Amino acid sequence: MTVDVIIEDDRWVVLGLGPLADRAVVATFTHLGMDADAWEVALLAAGDERISALNEGFRGKAQATNVLSWPSQERGALQEGARPLLPDGDSELGDLALAYETCIGEAAAGGISPEAHVTHLIVHGTLHLLGYDHVRDGDGDLMETTEIAILGKLGIATPYEGDGSGSDGKD
């Protein structure tokens, strides 16, 4: 398994983003019964300004967001609440991007460590690359439950207690 981490904003270095990303992505793959060695993910670690530009260019939203994801192909389930099919073929699952100021600010506001929050966002983004989503309620419930299970295995408390939205509301 390869997580290709591209650090564009040097403030990410202090978090040890490479090992943290590897741990989050491997945990996601393992939970889903995937061979982690067979898949590749690219992760851009940038600042809010860069993520805002990317978000505007790809989603028409001129604002920073915590995590963006670009799957290499559409993998979503047709039926609401159904688990997406596991990928086959091309080993490149897609790309993720994280916004430093937004991620660090959210962690501080939530009273959690930046490492735990960023791990959650990488799990969340990786699930998006695999076809999970939270636009429809049933899909959001599945994604949230899956995230909570993966994070629990990593020793990270659920980020959704009392929320019930199925999303962090950012992506």
Report the pLDDT value the prediction gives residue 143, as an integer from 0 to 100: 97
Query: If you ran DSSP here, which 8-state letter would residue 4 be given?
Result: E
Task: Spell out the residues 6+ positions from residue 49 whose beta carbon is closer than 8 angstroms to its own.
Answer: 64
pLDDT tens by residue, the chain, 171 residues: 689 999 999 999 999 999 999 999 999 999 999 999 999 999 999 999 999 999 999 999 999 999 999 999 999 999 999 999 889 888 999 999 999 999 999 999 999 999 999 999 999 999 999 999 999 999 999 999 999 999 999 999 999 865 433 334 444
pTM of the model: 0.92
Any domain includes 166: no
Any domain includes 95: yes
Report the domain count for the chain.
1
Helical axes 100-110 vs 48-59, angle rounded to 10°: 110
**What would you report as the CA-atom Rg of the chain, rounded to the nearest whole angstrom?**
15
Any domain includes 161: no
52 in Cβ contact with 59 (< 8 Å): no
CATH code where residue 105 lies = 3.40.390.30
Burial class (CB in 10 A: 0-12, 13-18, 19+), 33: exposed
> Alpha-carbon distance 67 to 65, whole Å?
6
Any domain includes 115: yes
* End-to-end C-alpha distance for the chain, whole angstroms: 25
The H or E element containing residue 29 is helix 17-31
Any domain includes 167: no
Any domain includes 158: no
Any domain includes 160: no
| Rounded (5°) CA angle 3-9-123 | 35
- For residue 110, give its domain range: 2-153
The H or E element containing residue 67 is strand 67-71
Any domain includes 96: yes
